[in-house]
Amino acid sequence: MSRAIARVRGLEAEALESSLRRSAAVLGVQAFLEEVAAPLFRAIGEEWHAGRLTAAQ
């Protein structure tokens, strides 16, 4: 999760997308959504709320 947040902060869209695609392929849709996507979206929201991420990131 920390690597994904670092990629968001660094505006590394291609690296983030590649990593997420690999995770989805390995885990399958349901597990990917529950174990990766939802926690990542939650973490991004918390970082934004705390002022550690901007809308541009």
Q: Give the domain ranges of the chain.
A: 2-49
The residue-averaged pLDDT of 27-52 equals: 96
CB 27 within 8 Å of CB 35? yes
> Which long-range contacts does 43-46 make (Cβ < 8 Å, 24+ apart)?
43/1, 43/4, 43/5, 44/5, 44/8
CB 36 within 8 Å of CB 27? yes
Residue type, 40: L
* pLDDT value, residue 25: 98
Which tens digit of pLDDT belongs to each residue from 6-33?
999 999 999 999 999 999 999 999 999 9
pLDDT band at 54 (very low <50, low <70, confident <90, very high): confident
| Residue carrying the six token digits 């660094």 | 10
